[in-house]
Amino acid sequence: MTTKPGLAAALLEALKKLDPRHQLRSPVMFVVWAGSLLVTVFAVTDPSVFTTAVAAWLWFTVLFANLAEAVAEGRGKAQADSLRRTKKDAVARLVNGDVVAGTELKIGDLVVVEAGEVIPGDGDVVEGIATVDESAITGESAPVIRESGGDRCAVTGGTTVLSDRIVVRITTRPGESFVDRMIALVEGAERQKTPNEIALTILLSTLTIIFLLAVVALQPFAIYSGGEQSVVVLTALLVCLIPTTIGALLSAIGIAGMDRLVQRNVLALSGKAVEAAGDIDTLLLDKTGTITWGNRRATEFIPVGPTSHEELVAAARLASLADDTPEGRSILELAGGEPASEHEKTGEFVPFTAQTRMSGIDLGERSIRKGAASAFELSDTAREIVDEISAQGGTPLVVAENDKVLGIIRLSDVVKPGMRERFAELRAMGIRTVMVTGDNPLTAKAIAEEAGVDDFLAEAKPEDKMALIRKEQEGGRLVAMTGDGTNDAPALAQADVGVAMNTGTSAAKEAGNMVDLDSDPTKLIEIVEIGKQLLITRGALTTFSVANDLAKYFAILPAMFAAIYPALDKLNIMHLATPQSAILSAVIFNALVIVALIPLALKGVRYRPSSASALLRRNLLVYGLGGVVTPFAGIWLIDLLVRLIPGIG
């Protein structure tokens, strides 16, 4: 769904960003921009090869910084253009028969959409069931089911109904649809700096002010020593001392972090959410569909007392004839799959309710029920079987006729492969995992132990999730969770990172600060990894930027004062040719290193699950030490070429 923007387009955008109003957004780069303008004035009024070269490379420094941001934004704009092409001007048929343009719909309007028609606006299905093609939004070609009365009722404007007929209640105004919001977000129009990004900007601004004062104060000492320095040299010194590398790449790192999420079909509604994902301490995960496959199936009939196996199977089949849930269908399959006879169709089917926690059929004088163990009075033998199934991670369903327990059905769910290893990685990162399930405590404990999560919340209700999130946050921890239903909305809003499923209700998507277009709850783990990669990348490049300034000191300061203090020549460990070649080489390296680091800023530093102390050691060894060594080699190589220029070498 995305395309890489051309380099020519990115360069054109980089030139546009030379506007001083844009440069003011980054104090560090604004100082470089102002310095470039100042040196350019000297290059025009008192031209020389050295001054002209310094002016040119200072402008290149600003241009390359703009290029990093333009390339990052270009990815988002390419995706935004792709999304714009998916938008279709559709007409809407209201339930009262009126036909209006999709742009005239209001919140609350009821719209009829049939097979082959485009859904005119975002909303919830309130009547009917249909297959919908959402490939324009998610990139997945397989159609999805949308139906009323559940957690898969939300539909997106611009998608197409493939079969059947649905009635949709519009939930957004024209121009504020999900696709409109995606377009605005992915092209960066609504990107705001995150708290950590703001804090780092303040730090970089403070360092810039300190170095500016230091350079200004340097001139009086130079005059006193009889070695007055030119404005061009002082400007070059300032640009090389301030943290231009991270200042140039900071915006690109943030944009690229959101883009990595978009590439995985996750829409982050704010940069803060991406950043928070990298600092998560507690991860709340639904058991069904996330830790386990979620398709619980009947795997065994266990008679109790004098009941024969055949009697239990027959009763379980009758109780499941009208049960259209996956569990109910699996019971029918295990019982033989025989359809209801004409006599059985005369029975009165009893649907499952949260109050009774059972379902079944009344057939003449026979009242057959199946349901949760807590809904029945169990004998000691039946209780032992129920506890054993629960302890093994299964779900027991009790079957009874006329209040007499006949036996137990074992429903089994399977933990997804590799989950224990993934949770071990999260534990190594210091993240605590909590499994949330509606199962009884015994079943929850068995699944939790098999999966390797740190804790579990059994028989969880919406208010229990809220209480758990608040308890974690009161301890100063950041919490992430997924959800798709209206009853998940309060918890999604409370969580620091709330990932709503695209198949879920509009309330859930409005409450969360991320939306997973693939509706895959396990993607929450990937989101945490992407958030950590963003923070690691920013930290690594900040370390490199500060460290490589050290080498520039050894290039410029000896060159400035070696004529006055010959002893300083010993610090010229790179044996640079002349003061002018040393200064110009440092300025050129300062510009080129930005270009060299653009791919790393966009791709991100490779993420490896490890503790904070291990990450710090890695940063210092790889990017700290590398930031010191690389400039020495780079400036020395550049000097070999620069010294060949007449008037400099």
- Is 464 annotated in some ligand binding site? no
Q: Are 75 and 253 in contact (CB under 8 A)?
A: no
- Is 359 annotated in some ligand binding site? yes
* Separation of first and last alpha carbons in the chain: 52
- Is 135 annotated in some ligand binding site? no
- Is 488 annotated in some ligand binding site? yes
- Is 259 annotated in some ligand binding site? no
Distance of alpha carbon 113 from alpha carbon 131, whole angstroms: 11
- Exactly one of 286, 413, 439, 639 is catalytic; name it: 286
For residue 17, give Cα distances in angstroms to 4, 22, 66, 129, 194: 20, 6, 6, 50, 21
Which are the contacts of 14, defined by CB distance < 8 A and separation ≥ 6?
63, 64, 66, 67, 69, 70
Query: Under DSSP, is residue 602 helix (H, G, I), strand (E, B) or coil?
Result: helix
Which are the contacts of 26, defined by CB distance < 8 A and separation ≥ 6?
65, 201, 247, 248, 250, 251
- Is 358 annotated in some ligand binding site? yes
Distance of alpha carbon 408 from alpha carbon 302, whole angstroms: 5
- Is 23 annotated in some ligand binding site? no
Q: Are 346 and 362 in contact (CB under 8 A)?
A: no
For residue 536, give Cα distances in angstroms to 208, 279, 434, 503, 618: 23, 11, 25, 32, 10
Q: Are 277 and 497 in contact (CB under 8 A)?
A: yes
CA 49 centroid distance within chain? 49
* Nearest residue to 482 via CA among 511, 455, 460: 511
Whether 151 is catalytic is no
- Is 355 annotated in some ligand binding site? yes
- Is 178 annotated in some ligand binding site? no
CA 314 centroid distance within chain? 49
- Is 518 annotated in some ligand binding site? no
Give the other-Cβ count within 10 Å of 269's Cβ. Answer: 20
The helix (H) or strand (E) run that includes residue 468 is helix 462-474
Tokens of 390: 């629960």
Phi/psi at 381 (nearest 5 deg)? -65, -45
Phi/psi at 578 (nearest 5 deg)? -140, 165
- Is 370 annotated in some ligand binding site? yes
- Catalytic residue annotation: 286
Binding residues for ATP: 323, 327, 352-359, 370
Binding residues for Mg(2+): 484, 488
Binding residues: 323, 327, 352-359, 370, 484, 488
